[in-house]
Structure 1
Amino acid sequence: MDDLSLERIEISGPTLASLIQRASSSPSDVDGLIFGQIHRIISSNLSDDSPADSLASSSSSDQIVATFTSFICSGKTVSFFDPLGRVDSRRIDSLRVGSPDRLLGWFSARRKTANRPSMRELAVSSSLSSQFHLPIEDSQNPKSTNMASCVFFLLTTPSADQCIHTHEYRSYQFRSTKQRFEPRSVGIVNIGPAFRGHYGSFSPKSGFPPLLCELNSSAMSVDRDEGSLSGKKQAVKDQKEIDALAEGFQVGNLKRLVGAEAANYTGGIEQMYERMLAKIEGLVSDVEKSSARVFEQDKHNRKLRNRIARIER
């Protein structure tokens, strides 16, 4: 088994948000296990210069990337190791029951502490990497080598009390040959407009099922008696309110989101959302103005009360 170096550690946005929420909602410090895969990626640097120069400038390099896919939080500290940092494999097996992914490493969430690993966390990573390993997935080399479960993810909160609840996180790789942590960059996947390009070449391998839409029913009137006249009137009123918000986009038209018309129809829906957001911004502005007027009126009322109190004295 080689002590290879990771290029970076990737984690999806929902997984990171779930981890932060789990750490913030716990009554105290917690730790747990993280799962995922390790991939070998071959990146090529191509050049459009002359053929003689392109051979010299073109190159390819191997990158080993760890992908953080899931985690298990123990709800406490020192959950699968002793105070000296020695890992108990039986505790880990009891924690990871039912997890389909491989053990990538572990995490620690601390409050009001410095955002750097402790000596105990170093000992835990050393013990964990010596006992657990996972294969490096490589499509070009099925007989790839194994790599130790060496990823450590650290979450902390600032030592000073703040009005805004914040978390700091860092990722490390434990190098067994050097017996130390090395920081690694964290790539958050599926956040921001830059990730939309990953879906640019999407083409389904099987046809989408038909989308059945009922035009004569309202989602808001499921629990209402549609047989009565008042129920039908209320259903019509609800449908009109929904149509006013959707600006002409009926529920039945949603079936156009699937099939050949989807590319043209999604542009219209995006424009509808933009107009709805503009309306919301207008409402926010009106609320801010009304709040300012209420504040001024309350201030004026306090002045009147103080004046009346002085007169009564």
Structure 2
Amino acid sequence: MDDLPLQKIAISGATLASIIQRFSSSPGDVDGLLFGNVTHVTPSNLLDDDIPDSSSTRSDSSTLVATITSYFCSGTVNSFYDSLGRLDLPALSRSLGDRGPGRSLIGWFIGRRKTPLRPSMREFAVSVSLSSKTLTLNPSDDSLNSINFPPCVFIVFTSPLSDQLIHTHEHRAFQFRRSTGFFEPKSMDVINIGPAFRGHYGAFCPNSPFPWLSSELRDSSMEEDTMNHMRGILKEQRGLDMCAEGFEVGRLSRLVGSDAANYTSELEHLYGKMLAKLEGLARLVEKSSAMVLEQVSLMLMDNVLLY
């Protein structure tokens, strides 16, 4: 197939998080292979009166998206190539043997700490070697891969150059173009993270609710402990209600909204009364402390007179 440009690279949030976890938990730099598929993007701006011509057809057919569905991480570097970037075909074949059916090799990645987000000369050589092995690395009978595309995707993972309090990772995706011999930066979409995908979870409801526990399975001692616990909670709640003077916790939700001003004044009045009670209690403690000191002084004076 021709060396066509990719529109973007897509990856699931779970796959991206797994790669970052493998990289962050490894003792050193790592590399690995990326599996997935490359598909045509269906244009969304077609009109009924559009007359397709040859130029638009070519433009639509060249709009491609590479989707990363899984990966293989070696746990080290130079796992399927040497220091000069030449492929180690036996090692590469062993890594490809565990990819599973319907997963084509679409590229590779590397994770290196505190380095710039740009390919090195060795990574350039590895990408050249991989992109020239299209037919041997991706068999044509792959059912899930609609396009026999060269493995030209390359992603760099790295950590910040300076130490930070928050542990972060950075990444950047590229497509190696055989026709130009250069890396082209590509946007990478995380397909199930972000505001656009929050609506997928808004209407979530469980399909299998938890079953009710049969009364026959309940133990009498467990029920007694539960009742004692509930009595303790009710006793504590009554004590709190006496302090709150009718301003229960449920009314706190009304502090947000158009009527918040009325309830805010009530709450301030309640706090004022509580502070008055605390002030009275502090004065009682002060008086009792003075009386205790006076009693102690009298006892000391009596002891001195006796001796």
TM-score between both structures, scaled by the size of structure 1: 0.61
Unpaired runs of at least 5, structure 2: 232-252, 257-307
Deviations 1:249-296 (A, max 9, x none): xxxxxxxxxxxxxxxxxxxxxxxxxx9xx9xxxxxxxxxxxxxxxxxx
Q: Distance in 2 between matches of 1:17 and 1:84?
A: 30
Following superposition, the deviation at residue 230 of structure 1 comes to 1.8
* Residue 47 (structure 2) pairs with residue 40 (structure 1): no
Does the 8 Å contact 1:29/1:76 carry over to 2? yes
Q: Secondary structure at the match of 1:91?
A: helix
Structure 1 Cα separation of the partners of residues 92 and 33 of structure 2 = 8
Task: Provide structure 1 residue ranges, at least 5 long, that are not aligned to the other structure.
Answer: 203-207, 218-224, 241-274, 279-313
Paired position in structure 1 for 2:212: 214
Letter of the 1:84 counterpart: L
Does the aligned pair in 2 maintain the 1:135–1:147 contact within 8 Å?
A: no
Q: SS of the residue aligned with 1:42?
A: coil
1:178 is matched by which residue type in structure 2? T
- Indicate yes or no: 2:117 matched with 1:115: yes
Distance 1:30 1:5, change over 3 A: same
| Structure 1 CA distance for aligned equivalents of residues 118 and 208 of structure 2 | 53
Structure 2 Cα separation of the partners of residues 97 and 179 of structure 1:
29
When residues 90 and 136 of structure 1 are mapped into structure 2, their CA distance, relative to the original with a 3 A threshold, is closer
Indicate the SS of the match to 2:172.
strand
Count residues in correspondence.
Answer: 222
Residues 153 and 171, structure 1, Cα contact 8 Å, conserved in 2: yes
Q: Distance in 2 between matches of 1:4 and 1:234?
A: 70
* Preserved contact between residue 37 and residue 145 of structure 2 (Cα < 8 Å): no
Give matches, 1:1-313, under 5 Å: 1-46=1-46, 55=50, 61-62=60-61, 63-100=63-100, 101-133=103-135, 134=138, 146-196=148-198, 213-216=211-214, 226-227=218-219, 229-234=220-225
Paired with 2:132 and 2:230, the residues of 1 have a C-alpha distance of: 63
CA–CA distance in 1 between the matches of 2:229 and 2:155? 49
State the one-letter code of the partner of 2:41. Answer: I
Q: Alpha-carbon deviations, 1:211-250, whole Å to 9, x = none?
A: 6712337xxxxxxx954x322334678999xxxxxxxxxx
Residues 143, 162 of structure 1: alpha-carbon distance in 2 compared, 3 angstrom cutoff: closer
Number of the residue aligned with 2:240:
none
Distance 1:16 1:178 in 2: 29
CA contact (8 A) 1:150 1:173 kept: yes
Deviations 1:11-68 (A, max 9, x none): 0111111111111111111101111111112213146xxx8xx648997734210001
Q: 1:43 to 1:198 in 2, by over 3 A?
A: farther
Q: CA distance change for structure 1 residues 24 and 238 in 2, over 3 Å: closer, same or farther?
A: farther
Q: Within 1, Cα distance between the matches of 2:13 and 2:229? A: 36
Deviations along 1:191-226, one digit per CA (max 9) or x if unpaired, are: 123125568999xxxxx9876712337xxxxxxx95
Deviation at 1:146, TM superposition (A): 2.1
* CA contact 1:136–1:144 (8 Å) conserved in 2: no
Corresponding residue for 1:299?
none
Offset of residue 186 of structure 1: 0.4
Task: Tell me the TM-score normalized by structure 2.
Answer: 0.62
Assess, with a 3 A threshold, how the Cα gap between structure 1 residues 145 and 25 changes in structure 2: closer, same or farther.
closer
Structure 1 residues 226 and 213, CA gap change in structure 2 (3 angstroms): closer
Q: Which moved more, 1:21-30 or 1:37-46?
A: 37-46
One-letter code of the match for 1:18? S
Say if 2:37 and 2:146, in contact at 8 Å, map to a contact too.
Answer: no
What do you get for the CA RMSD once the two structures are aligned?
3.8
Deviation at 1:86, TM superposition (A): 0.7
Question: Cα–Cα, structure 1 residues 214 and 27, in superposed 2: closer, same or farther, change >3 Å?
Answer: same
Deviation at 1:176, TM superposition (A): 1.0
Tell me whether 88-97 or 162-171 shows the greater mean CA deviation.
Answer: 88-97
Whichever of the two has the greater Rg, that structure is 2
